[in-house]
Structure 1
Amino acid sequence: MALTTAATSAPVDTRLYIIAVLSLTAVQMLSTIAFNIGAVLAPVAAPDLGVAADDVAYYVSAVYLVSIYAAMAGGPMAVRLGPVRLTQCGLTISAIACLSLASGHVVLAALSAIILGLGGGPLTAASSQILARVTPQRLSNLTFSIKQSGVPLGYALAGALIPISVELHGWQAVAAAIAVICLMTALALQPLRALYDRDGVTTGRLLPTFQQIVDPLKRAWADPVLRRLCLAAMFFSAMQATIVNFTILYGVNGLLLDYVAAGLLLSVATAAGMVGRVFWGALADATRRPLAMLALLGAIMTLGGFAMAAAQLGWPSWVLHGVAIVLGGSAIGWNGVFISECARRAPPGRAGEFVGATSFFVFLGPVLWPVMFRAILYATQSYPAGFAIMATATGVSAVAITGLLRRGER
């Protein structure tokens, strides 16, 4: 498949570029908080709902399973509705999910996982459609990484603020507050429609056909580089899901930290991921070797995963935080470079569709792995076993990407 650069023809308009980066990063941050609210609230919400805290694994898998369809449909829907309108819809749906969780009813809480997947899934495709249009090629990796830094920033804020807020106001009030913020943000985005939704298709069906969803996936799979990257991304995202969804539980139940201290451990890891996303994106642009960056990131997250698996009771907080920084900076820092590479290899005007299609693999890891992690935990009563298995998988992925480098790919 011939490679094209989606951002090559983007107009050099500094105003459109800056507004897009700032607003989309903020949206990414907020949607991440909403998307992962179940995992953060699990230790305190589970007793009220009558379930085990570790059962959040099933909740997380349900969120990501629905997100697979929503993400792949997001590209065609961004063309149909306009990417800003699609983002507004996604935030509104996420608000409904948070309210369902806030109800405190176990059935509505379970339903909120499905709703969260529908709301959060399309947002990366929508934002990629905008960024591919307004970003200079020389800044592609950095720009997508800055926008994706909203993900670890959201994790960090959730880990630092939600436990404290829960102690002050209760978990249901916190979930409801996040819903209100999502709705307010959706309304605040309205002026951006005139800037970025002008090319939307005003006629035709809203939901894409099966062929429209599958076609970009087939095209991406036909690219031998993207094919290997997508398989690696499945394991990278599974490691990321391990950190985001099990660090607090590991801290509370495995390392015997209190809830706030465990939340701080997640916050440190995700803050490192935020810095890492920008750093790795800038380095990929400076060296013009994004594949080398992804291989290096895979190696670092492997070392970090084994270090987290080796953590012991009584380790000083600075040691635990150091491990969290290494693991978070890599396992949460890879995504911007990957998305930029997917957008770069997309046909002109189809960056959102390609990013949505490759999200199939990015979300597949978090669909399958949390349930497997829960099974491993049930069988072994060991959080470290899950971290070690995932570290092995990311190491194999790093070796696979290195194979591309040996064939002359960059």
Structure 2
Amino acid sequence: MQQDLGFGAARLGLGVSVFFGVAALSTILGIGAFTRLGRRVGLVTAGGLVGAGGLFIATVADGWWALALGMAVLGLANAACQGTANAAVSTALPQHRRGLGFGIKQSAVPLAIMFGGLAVPTTTVLFGWRSTYLIIGLVGLVVALVGLLRRVPEPAPAPRGRSGPPADSAPVRPLVMCGLSMMFANAGANFSGAYLASWAYGVGLTVEEAGLLLAVGAGSSALMRVLVGHGADRRHGRNLPVVAGLMLSGAGCLAILAAVPQVWTVLIFGSLAFAVGWSWPGLLLYAVARLGRDAPAQASSLVQAGAFAGGALGPAAYGLVVALIGFQAGWFVASASFVLAAVLLLIARQGFVRDLQVRPPRTPFGYGGGHDRPRYTTRSPDTSP
């Protein structure tokens, strides 16, 4: 692509940042939009944007600016896909299946990395890089067509006027802290995804072995996201501390990669960095949606915006660290970002717990963990503390 369109590695990275930046901005500006519009409109919109962006790049893009425009459309499409999916999982699935639902939904991210890697030696080699975007565009049109032709069930509309109680929303500050946590953690995770293969090649693996390591890591991350989500459905809360523990595990893996640049550390801790250190996004979204009270989709969308921001800033910022100081420093900085994310998440949890105690939901809410019953249950709102 760089040879065909005539640009260098810096503009390639900038194009990726355009994709994630547009996704983050549109998610923040459109919080709650896909809940209001409904699943069918969201599905058609998401598929149509994917189709438009993919086909534009495949057929029209003849330089970097055109590519950037296509990536901006695909970034908007990604925000629409995530917003529609978050709203569906948060409202359509029963409470005891939403952890698994978010785990399956978030497993699409590492699977996309795996399929993207497989596209290079297959469709790209056989038919050129435009063929991959052509396939993306056609799949998007199929999704839009399914949304148009298939009847998509919609949730019951919320009561209007004064016939029902006012909406019960989650506290803003803990949600913002969760969004910042997601941003820093996703920045470190995306740096790992972008540079692990290069680091593996630098310490002694072949190109084929480095690519296989990335594919295995992405596949194991997808599996772990589903298992972690299933585990969340079997306990009553205490999800944010689990997420923080997974983030700290990822921080340890990245620090070992930097401290011991050997083949065996890359094979073991590079794989674990994906499988364990990047298995938390679905669980974090589920936890935030669970704490979102009457607006679970909006709460998860705010955190999703943090993920997009991390995707936009991480590879570019940490890539600059690599260029100026070296790969080892980049891994240490990425590890530190995981630690910071875990700390922010634990602070956010304190805010959520405090809010549950001071402003209990209308319906009793169990939290604090426990398999048979929650460790703590909120009091009735009309009961004195």
Provide the TM-score with structure 2 as the length reference.
0.78
| Contact 1:163/1:260 (8 A) holds in 2 | no
Separation in 2 of the partners of 1:165 and 1:295? Answer: 39
Q: Give the superposition deviation at 1:155.
A: 1.6
Q: Which of residues 82, 97, 121 in structure 1 aligns to 2:38?
A: 82
Q: Which of residues 220, 226, 229 in structure 1 aligns to 2:178?
A: 229
Give the aligned partner of residue 355 of structure 1: 300
Q: Which of residues 255, 258, 266 in structure 2 aligns to 1:306?
A: 255
Higher relative contact order (CA 8 A, sep 6+): 1
Q: Give the superposition deviation at 1:396.
A: 2.9
Give the aligned partner of residue 312 of structure 2: 367
| Contact 1:310/1:384 (8 A) holds in 2 | yes
1:132-211 alignment to 2 at 5 Å? 132-196=90-154
Give the aligned partner of residue 63 of structure 2: 105
Q: Give the superposition deviation at 1:405.
A: 6.9
Q: Which of residues 280, 287, 293 in structure 1 aligns to 2:242?
A: 293
Q: Give the superposition deviation at 1:403.
A: 5.5
1:333-352 alignment to 2 at 5 Å? 333-348=279-294, 350-352=295-297
| Contact 2:53/2:74 (8 A) holds in 1 | yes
Q: Which has the higher helix share?
A: 1
Separation in 2 of the partners of 1:89 and 1:138? Answer: 29
Q: Any unmatched runs of 5+ in structure 1?
A: 1-44, 201-215
Separation in 2 of the partners of 1:264 and 1:73? Answer: 39
Rg (Cα) greater in structure: 2
Give the aligned partner of residue 14 of structure 2: 58
Separation in 2 of the partners of 1:163 and 1:246? Answer: 19
Paired residue type of 1:159: G
Q: Which of residues 223, 239, 242 in structure 1 aligns to 2:188?
A: 239
1:267 equivalent in alignment to 2:212: no
1:72 equivalent in alignment to 2:20: no
Paired residue type of 1:263: G
Q: Give the superposition deviation at 1:342.
A: 1.7
Q: Give the superposition deviation at 1:328.
A: 0.9
| Contact 1:74/1:123 (8 A) holds in 2 | no
Q: Give the superposition deviation at 1:391.
A: 0.6
Separation in 2 of the partners of 1:247 and 1:233? Answer: 20
Separation in 1 of the partners of 2:349 and 2:157? Answer: 38
- The C-alpha deviation readout for 1:103-146, integer Å capped at 9, x for no partner, is 34222112122111111112222112222222222222222112
356 and 406 in structure 1: CA distance in 2 versus 1, 3 angstrom threshold: closer
Separation in 2 of the partners of 1:356 and 1:48? Answer: 37
Give the aligned partner of residue 85 of structure 2: 127
Q: Give the superposition deviation at 1:275.
A: 1.0
Q: What SS is found at the alignment partner of 1:195? A: coil
Paired residue type of 1:394: F
Give the aligned partner of residue 395 of structure 1: 339
Separation in 1 of the partners of 2:105 and 2:334? Answer: 26
Separation in 1 of the partners of 2:206 and 2:122? Answer: 12
Identity, in percent, stands at 23
56 and 249 in structure 1: CA distance in 2 versus 1, 3 angstrom threshold: farther
Separation in 1 of the partners of 2:280 and 2:253? Answer: 14
- The C-alpha deviation readout for 1:277-297, integer Å capped at 9, x for no partner, is 112212233343202211111
Give the aligned partner of residue 47 of structure 1: 3
| Contact 1:72/1:353 (8 A) holds in 2 | no
Separation in 1 of the partners of 2:19 and 2:187? Answer: 14
| Contact 1:239/1:331 (8 A) holds in 2 | no
Higher mean C-alpha deviation, range 93-102 or range 124-133: 93-102
Q: What SS is found at the alignment partner of 2:89? A: helix
Separation in 2 of the partners of 1:151 and 1:378? Answer: 27
Provide the TM-score with structure 1 as the length reference.
0.74
393 and 310 in structure 1: CA distance in 2 versus 1, 3 angstrom threshold: same
